């Protein structure tokens, strides 16, 4: 098999366990803290938000966790997902590098998010929960949770960041097709939302605000829980099916990655792809450079600090030690809505802090230029978020052209951009601008990070 375009796995080759990177790390990750006592959070502290099974996974130090049969059944609607060799992009770039991308846009919602939405809804359903609340930025996570709730018969209520709610009406319709109920955030249905609207009726919203609204609704009733689409350990755990499949697929064609690049918003598609490869690297079986790619307008890893901070704007969540720009930070409404988050997954922040992965920031016009090259060669129109990963892969491939190295580059194309035509339109009309964040703006937002004794 030497002239392949995509590498497929049979359904019966699909991995049946998720991988937990925690026990393999040289230093254990810092615990989450209770926001009142500042002591390490216990399972009870999360009980109003999440079902027991997910809290156990959040705190687990088991290396492998079995994927329940009911979850595997739903995964089979689109998994295993294909791994592509980007031969046409390689040719366009005239590079000796080999570029591989794991395509997660084949899921019903069009991204990697259903990989965690499905198990999250499953475990809630098992524990008798009737409704889930959540936030969504670009609408990818809200769609994924609405889809998963429809699979297991739960209600789904979603707060969508106002800027996206207005810019992407079709995503909202999609959530409603799957039975979800959608509010723009800030909304007039929560106290916090009303207080923000009183200050600014045209508030663009942020993920941090939408999380606060969804959490405040969930804690009202014992039959309602909250679901988060990124950042948390259990979310990254569920996403490792991406990397586990990619390992099997690369092995089929006898390739080993030299460089792995992934876009990081909250860190879940990156962690999902990278952690199984990090396991192999730590075990000395391969030695890829692993690199996070973030937008220059929301440079959490490259410009934020590694500190304890809240996951949401109102300060309702446990404190997590993570790279943060400050929980009061409201990113500019860049097109990659899914990358507009003030923090980074504690696990991704931790491995970055340990020097096990690198990070770079790329401005959005370079990302969209790369997306057009990708779409015109490979055919698939990427979501704005993975255009960051594509731009980084292109940088790497062009460096190989200079040096003559035949590096193997692996990335995740974590979603398609079929609902993002307004962004492409803006770019092609020459109206997209790069948003560089000033050091003053970062210093101002960092003031909201609590100072711990
Ligand atoms: C949500 C989303 C992201 C950002 O979230 P991560 O947790 O960093 O993966 C990136 N790409 C797509 C397509 C998304 O839907």
| E strand spans, 162-270 | 181-185, 224-226, 259-263
Rg (CA), the chain: 20
| Inside any domain, residue 225 | no
317: left (phi over 0), alpha (psi -120 to 50) or beta: beta
Strand, coil or helix: what is 67? coil
| Inside any domain, residue 91 | yes
Q: Which pLDDT value is given to residue 441? A: 87
| Inside any domain, residue 435 | yes
Q: Which pLDDT value is given to residue 296? A: 93
What crossing angle do the helices spanning 114-126 and 52-59 adopt, rounded to 10°?
130
* Long-range pairs, 377-380, Cβ under 8 A, ≥24: 377/86, 377/88, 377/89, 377/91, 377/92, 378/84, 378/86, 378/88, 378/89, 378/101, 379/88, 380/103, 380/105, 380/413, 380/416
339: left (phi over 0), alpha (psi -120 to 50) or beta: alpha
**Bridging pattern class, strands 64-66 and 259-263:** unpaired
Return the best residue to mutate from 139, 230, 231, 338 for the ligand 1 pocket (most ligand atoms within 8 A of CB): 338
Judge if the beta carbon of residue 113 lies within 6 A of ligand 1: yes
Residue 414 Cα, ligand 1 centroid: separation in angstroms? 7
Return the best residue to mutate from 112, 142, 293, 416 for the ligand 1 pocket (most ligand atoms within 8 A of CB): 112
CB 306 within 8 A of CB 349: yes
Domain holding 297, by residue range, is 8-14+67-110+234-446
User: In angstroms, what CA-CA distances link 418 with 375, 421, 452?
Assistant: 12, 7, 44
Q: Which pLDDT value is given to residue 317? A: 84
| Inside any domain, residue 19 | no
Judge if the beta carbon of residue 265 lies within 6 A of ligand 1: yes
DSSP string covering 19-63: E--GGGSSSPPPPPB-TTT-SBPPGGGGTTTS-HHHHHHHH---S
| Inside any domain, residue 336 | yes
List the end-to-end C-alpha distance of the chain, in Å, as a whole number: 60
Residue 442 belongs to domain with CATH number: 3.40.50.1100
| Inside any domain, residue 355 | yes
pLDDT < 70: residue spans in the chain: 1, 453
Return the best residue to mutate from 230, 233, 367, 423 for the ligand 1 pocket (most ligand atoms within 8 A of CB): 230
Nearest-atom index, ligand 1, CA of 229: 7
Length of the chain: 453
Judge if the beta carbon of residue 266 lies within 6 A of ligand 1: yes
Nearest-atom index, ligand 1, CA of 269: 9
CB 151 within 8 A of CB 120: no
Nearest-atom index, ligand 1, CA of 230: 7
| Inside any domain, residue 59 | no
What crossing angle do the helices spanning 346-353 and 233-252 adopt, rounded to 10°?
70
Q: Where are the alpha helices (DSSP H) in 286-420?
A: 300-303, 346-353, 364-378, 387-403
In sequence order, the β-bridge partners of residue 324 are: 305, 343
Judge if the beta carbon of residue 411 lies within 6 A of ligand 1: no
Q: Is the peptide bond before 186 cis (omega within 30 degrees of 0)?
A: yes
CB 381 within 8 A of CB 375: yes
Residues 6+ apart with CB under 8 A from 286: 256, 257, 277, 280
Q: Which pLDDT value is given to residue 371? A: 98
Q: Is the peptide bond before 41 cis (omega within 30 degrees of 0)?
A: no
| Inside any domain, residue 137 | no
The kind and range of the H/E element at 256 are none
Measured CA to CA, the distance from residue 2 to residue 19 in angstroms comes to 30
**Bridging pattern class, strands 17-19 and 64-66:** antiparallel
Token digits for 203?
Answer: 């508030």
Q: Which pLDDT value is given to residue 453? A: 66
Number of domains in the chain: 1
Nearest-atom index, ligand 1, CA of 137: 1
């Amino acid at each position: 098999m030497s002239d392949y375009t995509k590498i497929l796995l049979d359904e019966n080759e699909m991995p049946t366990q998720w991988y937990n990177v925690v026990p393999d790390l040289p230093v254990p990750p810092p615990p989450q803290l209770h926001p009142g006592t500042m002591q390490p959070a216990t399972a009870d502290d999360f009980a109003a938000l999440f079902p027991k099974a997910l809290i156990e996974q959040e705190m687990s130090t088991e290396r492998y966790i079995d994927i329940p049969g009911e979850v595997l059944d739903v995964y089979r609607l689109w998994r295993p997902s294909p791994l592509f060799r980007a031969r046409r992009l390689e040719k366009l770039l005239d590079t000796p590098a080999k570029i591989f991308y794991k395509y997660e846009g084949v899921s019903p919602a069009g991204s990697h998010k259903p990989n965690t939405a499905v198990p999250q809804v499953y475990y809630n359903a098992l524990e008798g929960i009737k409704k889930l609340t959540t936030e969504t930025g670009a609408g990818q996570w809200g769609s994924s949770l609405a889809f998963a709730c429809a699979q297991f018969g739960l209600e789904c209520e979603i707060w969508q960041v106002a800027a996206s709610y207005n810019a992407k009406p079709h995503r909202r319709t999609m959530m409603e097709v799957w039975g979800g109920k959608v509010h723009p955030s800030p909304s007039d249905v929560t106290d916090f939302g009303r207080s923000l609207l009183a200050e600014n009726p045209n508030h663009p919203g942020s993920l941090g605000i939408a999380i606060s609204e969804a959490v405040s609704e969930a804690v009202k009733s014992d039959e309602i829980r909250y679901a988060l689409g990124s950042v948390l350990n259990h979310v990254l755990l569920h996403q490792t099916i991406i990397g586990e499949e990619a390992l099997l697929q690369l092995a089929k064609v006898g390739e080993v990655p030299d460089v792995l690049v992934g876009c990081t918003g909250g860190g879940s598609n990156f962690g999902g792809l990278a952690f199984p490869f990090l396991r192999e690297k730590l075990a000395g079986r391969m030695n890829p450079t692993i690199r996070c790619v973030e937008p220059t307008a929301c440079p959490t890893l490259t410009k934020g600090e590694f500190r304890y901070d809240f996951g949401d704007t109102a300060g309702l969540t446990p404190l997590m030690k993570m790279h943060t720009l400050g929980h009061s930070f409201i990113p500019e409404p860049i097109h990659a809505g899914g990358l507009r988050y003030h923090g980074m997954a504690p696990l991704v922040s931790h491995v970055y802090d340990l020097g096990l992965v690198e990070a770079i920031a790329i401005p959005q016009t370079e990302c969209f230029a790369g997306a057009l090259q990708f779409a015109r060669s490979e055919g698939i129109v990427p979501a704005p978020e993975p255009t960051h990963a594509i731009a980084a892969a292109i940088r790497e491939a062009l460096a190989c052209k200079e040096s003559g190295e035949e590096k193997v580059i692996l990335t995740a194309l974590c979603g398609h951009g079929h609902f993002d035509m307004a962004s492409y339109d803006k770019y092609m009309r020459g109206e997209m601008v790069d948003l560089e964040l000033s050091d003053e703006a970062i210093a101002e937002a960092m003031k909201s990070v609590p100072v711990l004794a």
